Amino acid sequence: MTNENKLYEGKAKIVWATENPDEVAQQFKDDATAFDGKKKGQIAHKGVRNARISAILFRLLEENGIATQLVDQIFEDTLLCKKLQMYPVEVVVRNYAAGSICKRLGFEEGARMKQPLLEFFLKDDSLGDPLVTDAHIEELELVSAEERDEIKRLALEINAILSEFFADRGVMLVDFKLEFGKDSAGNIVLGDEISPDTCRFWDASTKKKLDKDRFRRDLGDVEAAYEEMLKRVETK
Ligand code: TMP
Ligand code: ASP
């Protein structure tokens, strides 16, 4: 892969063009950022571990009838993916309170939601990725009403599949973020990644955090948490 094939470099991934105009290669980086890029660092082996974790989870979802952009894992740190036109929103599903919902609404960390709680955020670092309501989504024409309902349905279905998968591996799926896009045929497809960068994972018995919160909050043992999550995800 040479530089002229580089389509886009984000905070955690590089997107490369491939010979197939309908496919891109997503290379996962060791770089880590938090707080809209204000905190920067590196997490050793994160690229390889997140690529593997994401590939396994996307395959699990495919097996359960969810369309994802994953085509194949082509290098240790690189996934071949269907090209999508991404929606400008992030979808967060929360099973337990943590992170921004505690700051915004005063939930105690770890409080169980009565039912999975879904939130949309606008993808715009310059605005700090603000929460957007259905009314905001309509006013800004971010996603059509039908697509928004379908995205909500898919996100909750994904939550059910992943929550069970992680519970079987001694992990609480506290919350996670998804990004969806549209493929060339107009289907809504899951894109981006699912990894300890984009989820909160707590060990079910000790409640130890096994995700990027260890980096965000300087809790130490960051690499070990990613290594442990890869091990759990690889458990049959
Ligand atoms: P939050 O509590 O900060 O709103 O985060 C909710 C979930 O979304 C958490 O699992 C981390 C993930 N997330 C991302 O993947 N990217 C982001 O930019 C942010 C802010 C959160
Ligand atoms: N990835 C986001 C950033 O760099 C935030 C986060 O994951 O906390 O700002």
Domain-wise residue ranges, the chain: 3-82, 86-221
**DSSP state, 30?**
S
Residue type, 82: K
- Residue 33 CB less than 6 A away from ligand 2: yes
Tens of pLDDT along the chain (236 residues)? 667 799 999 999 999 999 999 999 999 999 999 998 899 999 999 999 999 999 999 999 999 999 999 999 999 999 999 999 999 999 999 999 999 999 999 999 999 999 999 999 999 989 999 999 999 999 999 999 999 999 999 999 999 999 999 999 999 999 999 999 999 999 999 999 999 999 999 999 999 999 999 999 999 999 999 999 999 999 98
Residue whose CA is closest, atom 15 of ligand 1?
A: 198
Q: Which fold would CATH assign to domain 86-221?
A: D-amino Acid Aminotransferase; Chain A, domain 1 (3.30.470)
Residue in the block written with tokens 């309908």: 22
Residue whose CA is closest, atom 16 of ligand 1?
A: 198
Amino acid 1: pLDDT: 62
Q: What are the strands, taking DSSP E only, across 76-162?
A: 78-82, 85-86, 89-96, 112-122, 131-132
> Separation of 6 CA from ligand 1 center, angstroms?
26
> Separation of 218 CA from ligand 1 center, angstroms?
16
**Torsion angle of C-alpha atoms 58, 60, 62, 63, degrees rounded to 10:** 170
- Residue 33 CB less than 6 A away from ligand 1: no
Is 212:236 a contact under the CB 8 Å cutoff?
no
Q: How far apart are CA 147 and CA 150, in angstroms?
A: 5
Planar angle of CA 101, 157, 33, nearest 5 degrees: 45
**DSSP state, 127?**
G
Amino acid 3: pLDDT: 72
pTM: 0.97
The architecture that CATH gives domain 3-82 is: 2-Layer Sandwich (3.30)
**Whole-Å CA distances, 21 to 3, 84, 184:** 17, 11, 11
Amino acid 125: pLDDT: 87
Same fold, 3-82 and 86-221: no
Which atom, in ligand 2's list, is nearest to the CA of 35?
9
